Amino acid sequence: GAVVSQHPSWVICKSGTSVKIECRSLDFQATTMFWYRQFPKQSLMLMATSNEGSKATYEQGVEKDKFLINHASLTLSTLTVTSAHPEDSSFYICSARFDTHTEAFFGQGTRLTVV
Protein backbone atom coordinates (compact mmCIF):
# COMPACT_ATOMS: atom_id res chain seq x y z
CA GLY A 1 0.00 0.00 0.00
CA ALA A 2 0.87 3.65 -0.15
CA VAL A 3 3.15 5.21 2.45
CA VAL A 4 2.25 8.10 4.70
CA SER A 5 5.00 9.39 6.93
CA GLN A 6 4.22 11.34 10.08
CA HIS A 7 6.82 13.18 12.12
CA PRO A 8 7.65 13.28 14.95
CA SER A 9 6.57 9.94 16.43
CA TRP A 10 6.50 11.38 19.89
CA VAL A 11 7.06 14.78 21.45
CA ILE A 12 7.10 16.21 24.93
CA CYS A 13 6.57 19.92 25.29
CA LYS A 14 6.00 22.46 28.00
CA SER A 15 2.61 23.92 28.63
CA GLY A 16 2.07 27.10 26.64
CA THR A 17 4.39 26.20 23.77
CA SER A 18 3.42 25.17 20.23
CA VAL A 19 4.11 21.90 18.49
CA LYS A 20 4.07 21.18 14.76
CA ILE A 21 3.33 17.73 13.38
CA GLU A 22 4.04 16.90 9.74
CA CYS A 23 2.26 14.41 7.56
CA ARG A 24 3.69 13.47 4.19
CA SER A 25 2.41 11.15 1.48
CA LEU A 26 5.60 9.66 0.11
CA ASP A 27 4.53 7.87 -3.06
CA PHE A 28 1.24 9.43 -4.07
CA GLN A 29 -0.45 12.79 -4.27
CA ALA A 30 -2.96 13.20 -1.49
CA THR A 31 -5.88 15.35 -2.50
CA THR A 32 -7.32 15.01 0.96
CA MET A 33 -5.68 14.61 4.34
CA PHE A 34 -7.36 13.96 7.64
CA TRP A 35 -6.26 14.67 11.17
CA TYR A 36 -7.46 12.55 14.06
CA ARG A 37 -6.83 12.39 17.75
CA GLN A 38 -7.27 9.29 19.82
CA PHE A 39 -7.42 8.99 23.57
CA PRO A 40 -6.47 5.71 25.24
CA LYS A 41 -8.93 2.90 24.60
CA GLN A 42 -11.13 5.16 22.49
CA SER A 43 -11.83 5.32 18.80
CA LEU A 44 -10.46 7.79 16.31
CA MET A 45 -11.94 11.25 16.55
CA LEU A 46 -11.80 13.27 13.35
CA MET A 47 -10.50 16.76 14.00
CA ALA A 48 -10.39 18.21 10.52
CA THR A 49 -10.28 17.46 6.83
CA SER A 50 -7.94 19.37 4.59
CA ASN A 51 -7.80 19.62 0.84
CA GLU A 52 -4.68 20.89 -0.88
CA GLY A 53 -4.73 24.62 -1.40
CA SER A 54 -7.89 25.32 0.58
CA LYS A 55 -8.77 25.92 4.19
CA ALA A 56 -9.31 22.94 6.42
CA THR A 57 -12.81 21.92 7.46
CA TYR A 58 -12.94 21.47 11.21
CA GLU A 59 -15.29 19.18 13.06
CA GLN A 60 -17.65 20.63 15.59
CA GLY A 61 -15.96 21.35 18.87
CA VAL A 62 -12.45 21.54 17.45
CA GLU A 63 -10.89 24.98 17.86
CA LYS A 64 -9.44 26.08 14.54
CA ASP A 65 -7.31 28.75 16.19
CA LYS A 66 -5.76 26.20 18.48
CA PHE A 67 -5.22 23.43 15.96
CA LEU A 68 -3.79 25.08 12.88
CA ILE A 69 -3.81 22.95 9.76
CA ASN A 70 -1.93 23.77 6.60
CA HIS A 71 -2.11 21.66 3.44
CA ALA A 72 0.26 23.57 1.24
CA SER A 73 1.04 20.83 -1.26
CA LEU A 74 -0.35 17.53 -2.47
CA THR A 75 2.18 15.66 -0.34
CA LEU A 76 2.36 17.65 2.87
CA SER A 77 -0.03 18.70 5.59
CA THR A 78 0.91 20.09 8.98
CA LEU A 79 -0.96 20.32 12.26
CA THR A 80 0.23 22.89 14.77
CA VAL A 81 -1.03 22.65 18.32
CA THR A 82 -0.75 26.18 19.64
CA SER A 83 -0.41 27.11 23.30
CA ALA A 84 -0.51 23.46 24.28
CA HIS A 85 -2.00 22.40 27.59
CA PRO A 86 -1.83 19.06 29.40
CA GLU A 87 -5.35 18.20 28.21
CA ASP A 88 -4.04 18.33 24.65
CA SER A 89 -1.89 15.30 25.41
CA SER A 90 -3.08 12.60 23.04
CA PHE A 91 -2.23 10.41 20.08
CA TYR A 92 -2.54 12.44 16.87
CA ILE A 93 -2.84 10.55 13.60
CA CYS A 94 -2.98 11.79 10.04
CA SER A 95 -4.29 9.93 7.06
CA ALA A 96 -4.26 10.66 3.37
CA ARG A 97 -6.06 9.44 0.32
CA PHE A 98 -5.59 9.89 -3.38
CA ASP A 99 -9.25 10.44 -4.18
CA THR A 100 -12.68 9.86 -2.71
CA HIS A 101 -12.92 6.31 -4.02
CA THR A 102 -9.77 4.96 -2.45
CA GLU A 103 -8.86 3.89 1.03
CA ALA A 104 -7.10 6.22 3.39
CA PHE A 105 -3.57 5.41 4.50
CA PHE A 106 -2.40 6.36 7.94
CA GLY A 107 0.77 7.90 9.24
CA GLN A 108 2.49 6.31 12.21
CA GLY A 109 0.90 8.70 14.66
CA THR A 110 2.40 11.25 17.04
CA ARG A 111 2.16 10.84 20.77
CA LEU A 112 2.05 14.32 22.28
CA THR A 113 2.68 14.82 25.97
CA VAL A 114 2.30 18.31 27.40
CA VAL A 115 3.90 18.82 30.80
Neighbours of 38 (CB within 10 A): 15
Contact status: 104 vs other proteins (CB under 8 A)? yes
Q: Which stretch binds other proteins (CB under 8 A): 14-22, 62-70, 71-79, 97-105?
A: 97-105
- DSSP letters, 42-74, are S--EEEEEEETTSPPEEPTT--TTTEEEEEEET
CA triplet 50, 12, 104: central angle to 5 degrees? 30
CB closer to other proteins, 54 vs 100: 100
Contact status: 98 vs other proteins (CB under 8 A)? no
Q: Report the interface residues with other proteins, using CB under 8 A.
A: 1, 6, 34, 42-44, 46, 49, 91, 93, 100-101, 103-109, 111
